Amino acid sequence: MSERVSAQVGAGQVQIETGKLAKQADGAVTVQLGETIVLVAAVGASKPRAGLDYFPLTVDYREKAAAAGKFPGGYFKREGRPTEKEILTCRLTDRPIRPLFPHGWINEVQVQSIVLSADGENDPDVLSIIGASAALSVSDIPWDGPLGAVRVGRVKGQFVANPTHSEMQQSDLDLIYVGNANELVMFEGSAKEISEADFTAALQFAHQCCQPLIEAQKELVSRAGKPKRQVTSNLPPDDMVQEVRKLLGDRLVPALLTPGKLARESVCEALLIEINPPMVEKFGAEKATEPVLKEIFYSLQKEAVRALILDQNKRMDGRDFDQIRPLTSEVGTYPRAHGSAIFTRGETQAVALVTLGTTEDAQEFDAYTGGVSEKQFMLHYNFPNFSVGETGRIGGPGRREIGHGALAERSIEPMLPLKNFPYVIRVSCEIMESNGSTSMASVCSGSLSLMDAGVPMLRPVAGISIGLCTKNDANNTLQQYRLLTDIIGWEDAFCDMDCKIAGTEKGITGFQLDLKLRGLPHQIMTEALEKARRARMFILEAMAKTLSAPRPELSKYAPRILTLKINPEKIGALIGPGGKNIKRIVEESGCEINIEDDGTVNIYSVSETGMEKARHEIEGMTAEIEVGKVYRGKVVTIKEFGCFVEVFPGKDGLVHISELANFRVKQAEDIVKMGDEIWVKCIGVDEKGRIRLSRKAAMAERDKQMAEKN
């Protein structure tokens, strides 16, 4: 028997139903807003998988073309590998639910979301998060929910809960927020230079919007929830932990304080190798396995790092808590790229390369659930193995790389005048070295490279990551915490938060919060935002010493653009039968030519000669001869009564014999010959469209112009 609950969120009602579909899953719900419906099913394995030393959670989200009444593109006419939007929604769904599973529980869990109906106005990504929370809550899988999730926009200065795609076109904020009954859990999105105070207000607004969703899920659990399973912890035995602690003695902290990432890792790795033989000797190879010893060593590292921060006010690399690592940057390093930059922050380094292309280079994709279907700006992030001194599988971008690239992309995009810039822009960010927040280094290098390319950015963008280390009392109440500016990799791994904030000198443009905690008080986030603002200003000042504004000219290797406007009725004539005319112009000029429905013609070329040739051809095929204007034309026909002169390709007019010169001409051949190029002036067009030209009038006008110059 199905059960349904609902929650009013803003102007829309979110409905959650269970017991109707996917009844063999441990927990399954449908979540509906408008006519958008998402099924989310959760299944947890009954036993832990042998040999695992981590929690295997998989979240998958898929959009079905049939949900929008469409066919998938491509030869096979069925959905293929997940799109970038689907991957990003997987990450959005995964990150808030992951910290709420019990520590030490390693039974595999899969959460799958499928869009069953898409109305094109209500985005299903937030519904996937709500559905994951509800499905896990009603299941027997041990999980400490529920959570609420909402998208917040700001239209005309007013916050809007779960805005439609139409409303989002007018919004200067796109915030996805996840919270529990009292605290925030996750946020992600972008904004058009929103202030820290307004962003804090948006978080508080979002938190209130989540409460009806949390109450509705509690009601659903009371009606249809299953008893939770008994948790079988897979934590290492305490006697083994104590033995490792004894073997390490007082050597772990000095190892953690070793200067330099690779050196620190090497010293710690040596300690791990050293404890292996005595542990195997004492507990046996079956108990003292490599995964178990690694987990124990990791837990002791984590304990030591947190004690250094909270009890001794020390960071592993010796910095103050608000101190940013040394910054360097340079631009124009790679001349054949249209723009380039290197940005280094401590042991984190990113190279950004800019490519400017024509509108034909825009990324197009199926948008079954609404929103944009074409991208004019793309930022692609790549994280090769050598950036962390490792080997491994080399392949296409993974979920992490796609997520980091999307964060950097949406942080920079608000500062690009895309509506008035007739180029498609791609930034390729290559991570050269990694030790903390490469996504924010990509923002900085990407911003510098765009300015180096001459892209007219409104303002440069920079970003930084703020970390957090906490201590709770016996009642699990927050007792102590430290915020860490510009976290390094092990501070991210061993501490509790990675809060990335990007923006300009005027406000925030991109943000993402990852927590390992079950929730975070809003007051701590307010403090973190202020620390991020101060750090951002420091970085922007350092970047300005390298390049403070966009270069006035594009790279000489970037395509130049010339925009013409033609009568839309002449588009067909310009293209020609089967594209014959436009193909000929492209081939002869070497240019790329894009024609829009409103008659706008964009000519792209790196050659001035080629661009001029294309312009002349296009104007010749589409322009109208105007009375009173002087033209350079070719004599194509000679008659007894005068000659015909072709002014534009396929367009000619008659120069009567009386208009050939300012004296009496006996025959036209005395003045012109076939193929001559002469100046003529249009002196009239009769009712049948026949054009009258005059060489005499053109010569007189040119003589007058020469006299005025002299």
Question: Based on the domain organization, do 408 and 539 belong to the same domain?
Answer: yes
Residue at a domain's end among 256, 277, 312: 312
Is residue 573, in this structure, part of any structural domain at all? yes
- The per-residue pLDDT of the chain, averaged, comes to 93
Question: Based on the domain organization, do 542 and 575 belong to the same domain?
Answer: no
- Range with the poorest average pLDDT among 216-225, 450-459, 468-477: 468-477
Three-state SS string over 1-31 comes to CCEEEEEEECCEEEEEEECCCCCCCCEEEEE
- Going by the DSSP 8-state scheme, the letter that residue 630 receives in this structure is E
pTM given for the model: 0.87
Residue at a domain's end among 546, 578, 599: 546
Residue 611 identity: M
Q: How confident is the model at residue 710 (pLDDT cuts 50, 70, 90)?
A: low
Question: Based on the domain organization, do 435 and 584 belong to the same domain?
Answer: no
User: pLDDT digits over 343-386, tens only?
Assistant: 999 999 999 999 999 877 778 777 777 777 789 999 999 999 99
Is residue 233, in this structure, part of any structural domain at all? no
Question: Based on the domain organization, do 18 and 154 belong to the same domain?
Answer: yes
| Cβ contacts of 46 within 8 Å, gap of 6 or more | 107
- Range with the poorest average pLDDT among 42-46, 97-101, 276-280, 579-583: 579-583
Max Cα-Cα span within the chain: 122
CATH classification of the domain holding 580: 3.30.1370.10
Q: Percent of the chain having pLDDT more than 70?
A: 100
Ramachandran bin of 599, using left for φ above 0, alpha for ψ from -120 to 50, beta for the remaining angles:
left
Question: Based on the domain organization, do 154 and 46 belong to the same domain?
Answer: yes
The dihedral of CA 25, 30, 31, 37: what is its sign? Answer: positive
Rounded Cα–Cα distance for residues 141 and 292 (Å): 25
Question: Based on the domain organization, do 495 and 360 belong to the same domain?
Answer: yes
User: pLDDT digits over 606-664, tens only?
Assistant: 888 888 888 888 887 887 788 999 988 999 999 999 999 998 877 889 999 999 999 99
- Range with the poorest average pLDDT among 114-118, 169-173, 617-621: 617-621
Q: Taking 70 as the threshold, does the pLDDT of residue 311 lie above it?
A: yes
Residue at a domain's end among 573, 595, 622: 622
Q: Taking 90 as the threshold, does the pLDDT of residue 105 lie above it?
A: no
Q: How confident is the model at residue 1 (pLDDT cuts 50, 70, 90)?
A: confident
Rounded Cα–Cα distance for residues 310 and 704 (Å): 87
Boundaries of domain holding 333: 327-390+398-546
Rounded Cα–Cα distance for residues 643 and 637 (Å): 6
**β-bridge pairing 508-515 and 184-194:** antiparallel
Three-state SS string over 193-217 comes to EECHHHHHHHHHHHHHHHHHHHHHH
Question: Based on the domain organization, do 617 and 634 belong to the same domain?
Answer: no
Rounded Cα–Cα distance for residues 216 and 220 (Å): 6
Question: Based on the domain organization, do 218 and 242 belong to the same domain?
Answer: no
Beginning with the edge strand found earlier in the chain, give each strand of the sheet holding 158-161 in spatial order.
158-161, 148-155, 171-179, 184-194, 508-515, 497-503, 462-472, 478-485
Is residue 364, in this structure, part of any structural domain at all? yes
| Cβ contacts of 281 within 8 Å, gap of 6 or more | none
Is residue 230, in this structure, part of any structural domain at all? no
Closest CA to 455 of 560, 350, 559, 551: 551
Rounded Cα–Cα distance for residues 358 and 311 (Å): 57
Residue 583 identity: K
| Cβ contacts of 620 within 8 Å, gap of 6 or more | 648, 649, 650, 651
The helix/strand/coil state of 134 is helix
Angle at 578 between CA 573 and CA 584, to 5 degrees: 70
Question: Based on the domain organization, do 349 and 264 belong to the same domain?
Answer: no
The number of distinct structural domains making up the chain is 5
Total Cβ atoms within 10 A of residue 105? 19
Is residue 232, in this structure, part of any structural domain at all? no
**How many residues belong to the chain?**
710
Provide the pLDDT for residue 677: 93
Is residue 319, in this structure, part of any structural domain at all? no
User: pLDDT digits over 497-509, tens only?
Assistant: 999 999 999 999 9
Q: What are phi and psi of 26, to 5 degrees?
A: -65, -30
CATH classification of the domain holding 201: 3.30.230.70
Identify any residues that bridge with 153 across adjacent strands, giving them in sequence order.
Answer: 160, 174
Higher pLDDT, 422 or 91: 91
Helix and strand tally (H, E) in the chain? Answer: 16, 29
Question: Based on the domain organization, do 169 and 67 belong to the same domain?
Answer: yes
Q: Are 416 and 425 in contact (CB under 8 A)?
A: yes
User: pLDDT digits over 541-594, tens only?
Assistant: 999 999 999 999 998 888 888 888 888 888 888 888 888 889 999 998 888 888
Provide the pLDDT for residue 493: 94
Rounded Cα–Cα distance for residues 593 and 595 (Å): 7
Cα dihedral 15, 16, 17, 18, rounded to 10, equals 180
Question: Based on the domain organization, do 297 and 445 belong to the same domain?
Answer: no
How confident is the model over 200-224, as a mean pLDDT? 97
Is residue 278, in this structure, part of any structural domain at all? yes
Give, for 483, the enclosing helix (H) or strand (E). Answer: strand 478-485
CATH classification of the domain holding 673: 2.40.50.140
Question: Based on the domain organization, do 205 and 264 belong to the same domain?
Answer: no
Is residue 597, in this structure, part of any structural domain at all? yes
